[in-house]
Amino acid sequence: MQLEAQITKHHIRRRIEKRERYKKERKVGEGTYAVVYIGKQQSTGRVVAIKRIKVGQFKDGLDMSAIREVKFLSEVRHANVIELIDVFVSAGTARTLNLVLEYLSADLEMIIKDRSIVFSAADIKSWMAMTLAGLYHCHRHNILHRDLKPNNLLISPTGHLKLADFGLARQQPGPYDVMTPTVVTRWYRAPELLLGSKIYTRKIDIWAVGIIFAELMLRTPYLPGQTDLEQLDLTFRAFGTPSEETWPGVSELPDYFFDPKLIATAEPGKKSGVYPYPSRDEMRMRFSAASESALTFFIRLTMLDPSNRIDTVDCLSDMYFKEAPRATKPEQLPKLGKKTTEN
């Protein structure tokens, strides 16, 4: 594998003795191919997360997700992206690749689900601003994250939000390069992916941010489909079923199967499999606590046609971030285990 050789050469050039610099203390998570430990950096006492990946588990060597994570985290350094501190390879009969990451014990999903925490519009604005700042930095380096969701947005002890888990990330390809559409956790998957498109852009990350925004406002997942077909139905129920008039070229996507005549005659309440576009009044009812600017921002993030979705530059300059209330400072944001009141 050419990519594996490249990453191994340029990003994992580490001595085996480096393992002595870190002490594993306890296991905090385990997946099919990796185990995560809390540990300490011996020289400084800094608490770190050590992600231990079994190299020998894979037919072609390293797991591609591990390769991507090392590559992109080595290239992207930003206050709103998790820090890759070190990489080393353990010797022995079961060789392992170890990623040393900054330790972040909370994520945005945990905060959303914790009903003892009350957060305000200013808090939501702060989390959104930090998410988009990190994503802007990735996109500026031509990196698609491809798996944005609340539990991949980690929270530091100082309240700073950081993008994590770059196992599905990849470099922005050329305009005609094909990629797999089975990326992004289903609930946050953009409609072009649900319709099987193998040619897509960084706008899939923008869609995911929009659905996270909805989840922050509602305190519950917005489009929790249990299957890909149900996800498609929930998406179009919420945003309308696209046609050539509203999304030029959509009917050419591999999994587009809608009858244009049904779309043209779609009415609210009909179970034809197609749905009309929601009016602004309907959107306002769904997000009753949202300001007009917040509602407009949400709509701009979640346009079905990806060419109409805004990019990270437009996101950060949106009126939503300019109007009152100002975004809460990270250190003043609600934290797990600490009850708060409305600002």
Q: What is the CATH number of the domain that holds 247?
A: 1.10.510.10
**pLDDT for the residue numbered 250:** 95
Look at residues 80, 102, 124 and tell me which one is the last residue of a structural domain: 102
Rounded-to-integer distance, Cα 6 and Cα 67, Å? 9
Tell whether the torsion through CA atoms of 194, 199, 203 and 208 is positive or negative: positive
221 cis-preceded (ω within 30 degrees of 0): no
Q: Is residue 343 included in any domain, yes or no?
A: no
**pLDDT for the residue numbered 4:** 46
**pLDDT for the residue numbered 15:** 45
325 cis-preceded (ω within 30 degrees of 0): yes
Phi, psi of 162 (to 5 degrees): -135, 130
Q: Is residue 287 included in any domain, yes or no?
A: yes
Give yes or no: residues 292 and 209 share one domain. yes
Give yes or no: residues 150 and 257 share one domain. yes
Name the residues annotated as catalytic: 147
Give yes or no: residues 196 and 220 share one domain. yes
Look at residues 102, 127, 152 and tell me which one is the last residue of a structural domain: 102
Q: Is residue 213 included in any domain, yes or no?
A: yes
> How many residues are recorded in the chain?
343
Are 258 and 273 contacting, i.e. CB atoms less than 8 angstroms apart?
Answer: yes
Helix (H) or strand (E) holding 107: strand 106-107
Contacts of 235 (CB under 8 A, 6+ apart): 191, 194, 223, 225
Question: Pick from 276, 209, 291, 268: which is nearest to 242 by CA?
Answer: 276
Write the pLDDT tens digit of every residue in 118-158: 999 999 999 999 999 999 999 999 999 999 999 999 999 99
Q: Is residue 8 included in any domain, yes or no?
A: yes
Q: What is the CATH number of the domain that holds 38?
A: 3.30.200.20
- Cut 0.75: pTM above it: yes
Q: Is residue 159 included in any domain, yes or no?
A: yes
Q: With a cut of 70, which residues of the chain have pLDDT below it?
A: 1-19, 32, 54-63, 91-95, 260-273, 338-343
Residue 265 structure tokens: 């005659």
Give yes or no: residues 160 and 13 share one domain. no
Give yes or no: residues 220 and 324 share one domain. yes
Give yes or no: residues 22 and 82 share one domain. yes
Look at residues 102, 132, 158 and tell me which one is the last residue of a structural domain: 102
Q: Tell me how many domains the chain contains.
A: 2
Give yes or no: residues 257 and 145 share one domain. yes
**pLDDT for the residue numbered 314:** 97
Give yes or no: residues 26 and 137 share one domain. no
209 is in which domain, residue-wise? 106-332
Q: Is residue 338 included in any domain, yes or no?
A: no
**pLDDT for the residue numbered 21:** 85
Give yes or no: residues 110 and 240 share one domain. yes
Q: Is residue 229 included in any domain, yes or no?
A: yes
Contacts of 334 (CB under 8 A, 6+ apart): 111, 117, 118, 119, 123, 340
Give yes or no: residues 146 and 29 share one domain. no
Give yes or no: residues 121 and 60 share one domain. no
Q: Is residue 337 included in any domain, yes or no?
A: no
Helix (H, G, I), strand (E, B) or coil at 177: coil
For tokens 């129920």, name the residue: 237
